[in-house]
Amino acid sequence: MNLNKYDSSLLYLQKSLKIQESNKGVLASPRIYEALGNCYFKMNQLEKALPYLLKAEEGFDQQESISEDQIYNRDHLYNFYKKKNDFRKSVLWLEKKYKLEKTYDSLRNNANINELEAKYESQQKENKILKLSNDNIKKEAEITKTRNLIYVIVVIFLVITILSYTIWLRQKQIQKMNLLRSTVNASEEEKNRIGKELHDGIASRILKVVYETDKKHIELSNELLNIYQQLRELSHQLEGTPLHSEPLYEKLIDIIPNNNPEAIFAIKIIPQNLELEEPYGNHIYRLIQELITNNLKHANASFTLLHIKLEDDLLKIEYKDNGIGSSNFSVGYGYNHINNRVKLMTGSIQINTDKNVGFEVDIQIPYQEKNDKN
């Protein structure tokens, strides 16, 4: 069904009126009655328009304030009676409309006057405040100047203090790094000394005893040879380990245990022929040696991965095992040994472990290969 604009408006207004009248104790808005009357009037259904217009007038009269809607409603009544040729009532509603307009305009003018007076009083107060403020501007300017001077002095003092503290902290860090470097070097020298003593002293004497042992004591000779071999390997591990253009893989193979059904060690180095300058070679060798030693002592792992990769001037070392792990990992001598060497190379270290989830170590060290290699 096609509805014109008046029919659709009428339908909407009737629904609104029905909703409002359904609420008990709540009067329908006179604006709805006025709109319904106006709609019927425009549809030329005058008899239906009049009751709504009168109902709207009754509602407007009960309101405390005057609104433009009531003026419109009286204008509708004026036009209604004019169209009905009832000129007496038409004139009556026209006079009511003019009277209401005068009252409305008077109230609006009074409101405007009150607003202007309020603004004028506010402006007068602002002028007084401004006048009083102008008297204090010079004093505030002097106070501000003094305050700024104090700020400058305080800032200069803070800058000097911060610079002094920074220099002191830098010197302290340098001293700490020098002490750490001295400690690591002393440890290396002691390992070298012990390694040489084992190799040149005890191992040589055991080998001499082996050759002097009677052939009847074959088992004793074999046992002494095993002890000699173990001492020799230990001495090689303790002796200084500068790589001197030796590939890292060939040096690490001495400390990586052989694979067996119960324990597999996977080592991967990229590039495969990676060679490290000193002291990086020695530090990397020692910290990996410490990781493998801790693995054999504590991990009880069936699989261990060691991944070393040089990428974008960054040496990355990744260690993982599937051992027993630890739920309360504590820093011990082995970790300090690794951490100290990482610090000396200005690197970072991260350790992740938990009970029955293995042990993971991620190390990243800034490393730039020299370009003067032959």
CATH superfamily to which 5-122 belongs: Tetratricopeptide repeat domain (1.25.40.10)
**Would you mind telling me the total number of residues written for the chain in this entry?**
374
Q: How many CA atoms lie within 13 A of 95 on its CB side?
A: 6
Question: Looking up tokens 């990744």, which residue turns up?
Answer: 318
Backbone torsions φ then ψ of 365, nearest 5 degrees: -130, 125
Q: Write out the two tokens for 76.
A: 């509708």
Question: Hey, where are the domains in the chain?
Answer: 5-122, 242-366
Q: Which tens digit of pLDDT belongs to each residue from 218-264?
A: 666 566 656 755 665 555 555 555 545 578 888 888 778 888 888 89
The Cα 347–Cα 350 span in angstroms is: 10
Backbone torsions φ then ψ of 367, nearest 5 degrees: -150, 125
Q: Which tens digit of pLDDT belongs to each residue from 100-141?
A: 888 877 777 666 666 766 776 787 788 778 877 777 787 888
CATH code: domain 242-366 is 3.30.565.10
pLDDT of the residue at 130: 80
pLDDT of the residue at 372: 46
Q: What is the mean pLDDT of each run of 10 residues along the chain (374 residues)?
A: 64 75 65 83 84 84 78 85 86 86 76 67 79 79 88 91 88 78 69 58 55 57 62 56 66 82 90 86 86 85 93 92 85 77 91 89 88 47
pLDDT of the residue at 349: 93
pLDDT of the residue at 244: 53
